[in-house]
Structure formats: C-alpha cells, structure tokens
Amino acid sequence: MKVAVVGATGLVGRNMLRVLSERKFPVTELIPVASEKSSGSKIEFEGKEYTVCTPQQAIEKKPAIALFSAGSGVSKEWAPVFAKVGCRVIDNSACWRMDPTKKLVIPEINGDVLEQDDYIIANPNCSTIQMLVAIADLHKRFQIKRIVVSTYQCITGTGKKAVDQMSAEREGKESPVQAYPYRIDLNLLPHIDIFLENGYTKEEMKMVNETHKIMRDESIRVSPTTVRVPVLGGHAESINLEFAKPFGMEEIFATLRGTAGVVVQDAVALENGAQPSAIGSMENLPYPMPLFTKDRDEVFVGRIRRDPSVENGINLWCVADNLRKGAATNAVQIAELLVKRGLV
C-alpha cells in the first residue's frame, strides 16, 4: 500500500503522518510530497527516513492513496493527475467540496456514499466536521430545523504564518509575517476567509453548504458566525439547535452518549442523563476546552441545556482538535473506509 501525503511538511501534513502511524494504517511505502522548495528534504516515518519529492515524482511511484493538504491551488492542479493514474485522492482543501461530481465525506455520517468510481474525495471544513459529528444523530432522532452556530477557531487553522505572528506578538516583537489584518494576540477577529456579497464570510458559508451536502437535507436552516481566537490549538463552537420533534433532556444526553466519536463532558449532567437543580461546587467542573482536546480524535460536547426561548431547542458547547478530527484523522478514516470496502 503506497501512500502519498501531499503537503507532508505542513501542519496538517505532519498530523496526517502521525495519524497514519497511530491508527496502524497499512502503509508499505510512504511517499512524502511537497513543493520544489522542500523537495529533497528528509522526513522520518515509523523509524524509516523518506525523501520528500515533487508531485510528478510521486505520480511516477504509483501510490494507491494520496492524502492532499497543500491548498486549493495544488489540489486543483494535481488531484486530477493523481486520479488519472488510478490513485484515490482524499483532499483536505476547499477545492472539490461543493463540486456536485465529488463526494464530501465524514465517515461516521455519510461514508455509505463512497463508490467504485470515486477517485477524488473531499474532506470537509474542520468546523463543519466537528459540528456535524456532534449533532448528526440528534438530527436522525429529532429532526433539526435550524442551527445557529458561533465558532471560536484557533490560529493553527490558518497555518504556520499565524503561529509565527501570534508568537511574535506575545514576545512584543514585530511579526515578520502577517497572517491576519489585525493583531491576533489578546484579540478576537470575527473574520475567517474573505467576505462575500451576502455579508457572510466564505468560512461561514462553507458551514451552510457543507451541512446541506453531508446531511443530504437542504431544509436545515444554518446561521453561522465564525471567529478567530488567540488559541494555539482546538476549535470550539456554541451550537443552538431547534428540532421539529419534542424531546426530553434525558433523550438528548442518551443520544449524544451513544454517538460514535463523541465524548460528553457536562458539569451538570448525572449519569442517567438527568440534571440536578443546583451545582454544589464550581471547582473541577467537567466541560470541553481546547486545553484538553489536543491530539485527541474525539469531538467533546458539554454545557448541554434546553433553550427556553423556543419550543424544541437546546444549546450545547462543542470542542475538537482541528488538526486531528477536523482534518488529518477524518482524511485517514476515509482512507480506512476505502480499504474496508475493497476500493484500494
């Protein structure tokens, strides 16, 4: 099983290598791929040293699977070339997500859509992945009518330039690179990606459009606000859901606890899913935080409570490692599914 990782020297690419190793994916030969500038450098994987090559050199090695995380431009140019030689491409960029001829996949939710002729498969946006993993089973049971989501997205979602900018700002230095139009340390930016004509950002509309495609239900109304926060790793989301069907809170807790890939951490939830009337102590309360989700593949959910302003609504708080389940892990899980289905 020859596996190429395109963008192997980047933040997500390095996490893809870690996840492939941790999940014991059957890699017989790793093909690390990067730009001409990085070509010839060395990468270690499972005790062996590999030489980074160019996309063309990788194609000549005939990989069975290629995990792409090098940006939309690279994906647009090279994914079809890899696919043409029979390589299954799993692309982490936004390039193919809304292409009607390409599948957009979260294995726990819609892995069943994968077919023999799928050679370019899109990995969803990080903020979409964690939200839908958390709420997909709730939708099956109670039918979501409306989602209002506000995200608190860390700087690693932007990449190394953002990490360098915040590090310089925290040291009181002038950053040699500017990933953001304003200071990010000690600040919040309600602005992720470019603004569109409707006043929303591209990141916000990704959550709308990708939700409809993955859930296969365009009747779900989605109202997003995405915010960049000065946190090094992990995205958080405040999610408000309005359902078509009535529910008991014990049913909500039971559904979330039974959802694959979800961990419930709720300070006021008893083991049977009921809620006590008061909290005796404010110390050591369990609720999801980026501080404790680093290098984890699960989506953590807490602060689960009924919304008193609508008839069938709840609020919840959702946190995940954006470089893991939000990117690398989901891509590797798609690859695992391809192997399981005998498609590679």
- Contact in structure between 316 and 302 (CB atoms under 8 Å): yes
Q: In the Cβ-directed half-sphere of 343, how many Cα atoms lie within 13 Å?
A: 22
CA distance 84 to 87: 7
CA distance 232 to 285: 23
Q: Which two tokens stand for residue 308?
A: 């008193």
pLDDT at 277 (0 to 100): 45
CA distance 293 to 325: 11
**Which one is catalytic: 126, 139, 154, 318?**
126
User: For residues 331 and 283, which has the higher predicted lDDT (pLDDT)?
Assistant: 331
Q: What percent of the chain has pLDDT over 90?
A: 92
- Contact in structure between 3 and 25 (CB atoms under 8 Å): yes
Q: Helix (H, G, I), strand (E, B), or coil: what is residue 91?
A: strand
Closest CA to 3 of 105, 73, 82: 82
Please report where in the chains the tokens 């647009």 appear, as a residue: 76
CATH fourth-level superfamily of 128-322: Dihydrodipicolinate Reductase; domain 2 (3.30.360.10)
Architecture of domain 2-124+326-340: 3-Layer(aba) Sandwich (3.40)
DSSP string, 199-252: S-BHHHHHHHHHHHHHHT-TT-EEEEEEEE-S-SS-EEEEEEEEESS---HHHH
Residue 235 designated active-site: yes
Q: Residue 156 pLDDT > 80, yes or no?
A: yes
CA distance 237 to 55: 36
Q: Which two tokens stand for residue 95?
A: 């390039």
pLDDT at 3 (0 to 100): 98
CA distance 114 to 128: 19
DSSP string, 152-207: EE-GGGT-HHHHHHHHHHHTT---SS-SSSS--TT--BS--S-B-TTS-BHHHHHH
**What are the pLDDT digits (tens) for 250-309?**
999 999 999 999 999 997 764 444 454 444 455 567 899 999 999 999 999 999 999 999
Q: Which of 103-107, 140-144, 171-175 has the lowest mean pLDDT?
A: 171-175
CA distance 266 to 36: 48
User: What's the predicted TM-score (pTM) here?
Assistant: 0.94
End-to-end Cα distance, the chain = 9
**Which one is catalytic: 53, 87, 139, 235?**
235
Domains of the chain, by residue range, sit at 2-124+326-340, 128-322
Residue 317's φ and ψ, nearest 5 degrees, are: -120, 130
Strand pairing report for 313-320 and 299-306? antiparallel
Q: At 50, is the pLDDT very low, low, confident or very high (cuts 50, 70, 90)?
A: very high
- Contact in structure between 105 and 98 (CB atoms under 8 Å): no
Q: Residue 230 pLDDT > 80, yes or no?
A: yes
pLDDT at 284 (0 to 100): 63
CA distance 153 to 321: 10
What separation in angstroms does the CA of 59 have from each of 32, 62, 86, 88? 11, 5, 10, 12
pLDDT at 38 (0 to 100): 86
pLDDT at 267 (0 to 100): 78
pLDDT at 278 (0 to 100): 46
Q: Helix (H, G, I), strand (E, B), or coil: what is residue 260?
A: coil
